[in-house]
Structure formats: structure tokens, C-alpha cells
């Protein structure tokens, strides 16, 4: 897989009218926006909200470059607690990695390049998206 450096891409989405008051609604809205964005960028969405005993992965997809991508989506309705990607701390990354390894094992995936991306969705005004490609390594 070689050494890859994170790439940050920023986009804006149309304002979403759904209720973002509850944490669950906020997460679902963010994931919907992220999945729509990824599809428009040519990603092939394989699964959303994959769960196992280790945790959950928001979006699993194939990137246009052939990578199997595990995406963590963080949505924020304001910046009071920082931007979304800052919440993907070491312990969260470890859970995502363990969950991804479980997905790979369950699905018999071998010899496939993979990476971990983070998408931050800001639901303040213009619904900006920040896509961090290869945000962290599987160690």
C-alpha cells in the first residue's frame, strides 16, 4: 500500500431542510450528504452503517482509483466543539480499524488496497464538506 499522505478536499452542499436537533438526525443527515457526495465523485457505495461487535463504519465504498475505502463521517451543526474530523481520536481510529478488519474477514476480501477517509460535514449555512483522503493508516 505504500506511504500515502492525507489529501483534503472541500465542497459545499445545498442547505438541508431536515431537523438537525437530535444527535441521531444530525448523524443521519451528515451521512446522507457524505454518501451523496461520494457517489457524485465516482465512488461505488457498498454499504452504510456496517456494524459488528467492534463498532460501526458509516460508509464502505470503492474509490474510482480502486481502493476499498472505509469512511467515518462527522457532522456538526456549529463549530462550538471543533470541526468533525477532530473527533476521530486514536481510540476511535482503533475501533474503525478493528471493524474494518472484521468486514474484510466476513467478506473474504484478499489482496485489495484499502484506506481510511474522514468526511466532516458542517451543517452551518452552506453545508460544507471536508473530505480527508487517507486520513489515517491501519498501523
Q: What is the CATH number of domain 7-136?
A: 3.40.1350.10
Q: 11-18: list long-range contacts, CB under 8 Å, 24+ apart.
A: 11/37, 11/128, 11/129, 11/131, 12/126, 12/127, 12/128, 12/129, 13/37, 13/121, 13/126, 13/127, 13/128, 13/129, 14/127, 15/125, 15/126, 15/127, 16/123, 16/127
Q: Which of 74, 75, 49 is nearest to 61 (CA)?
A: 49
User: Mean pLDDT across the chain, nearest whole number?
Assistant: 82
What is the average pLDDT across 12-27?
54
Confidence of residue 1 (pLDDT cuts 50, 70, 90): very low
Mean pLDDT over 46-57 rounds to 96
Average pLDDT over residues 122-133: 83
56, 98 contact by CB (below 8 A): no
Domain boundaries, the chain: 7-136
- Residue carrying the nine cell digits 456549529: 78
Residue 23 has pLDDT above 60, yes or no: no
Amino acid at each position: 500500500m505504500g506511504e500515502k499522505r492525507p489529501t483534503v478536499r472541500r465542497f459545499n452542499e445545498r442547505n438541508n431542510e431536515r431537523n438537525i436537533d437530535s444527535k441521531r438526525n444530525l448523524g443521519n443527515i451528515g451521512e446522507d450528504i457524505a454518501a451523496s457526495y461520494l457517489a457524485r465523485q465516482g465512488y461505488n457505495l457498498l454499504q452504510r452503517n456496517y456494524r459488528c461487535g467492534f463498532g460501526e463504519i458509516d460508509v464502505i465504498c470503492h474509490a474510482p482509483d480502486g481502493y476499498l475505502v472505509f469512511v467515518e463521517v462527522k457532522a456538526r451543526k456549529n463549530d462550538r466543539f471543533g470541526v468533525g474530523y477532530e473527533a476521530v481520536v486514536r481510540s476511535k481510529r482503533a475501533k474503525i480499524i478493528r471493524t474494518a478488519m472484521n468486514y474484510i474477514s466476513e467478506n473474504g476480501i484478499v489482496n485489495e488496497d484499502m484506506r481510511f477517509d474522514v468526511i466532516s460535514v458542517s451543517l452551518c449555512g452552506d453545508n460544507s464538506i471536508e473530505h480527508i483522503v487517507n486520513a489515517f493508516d491501519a498501523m
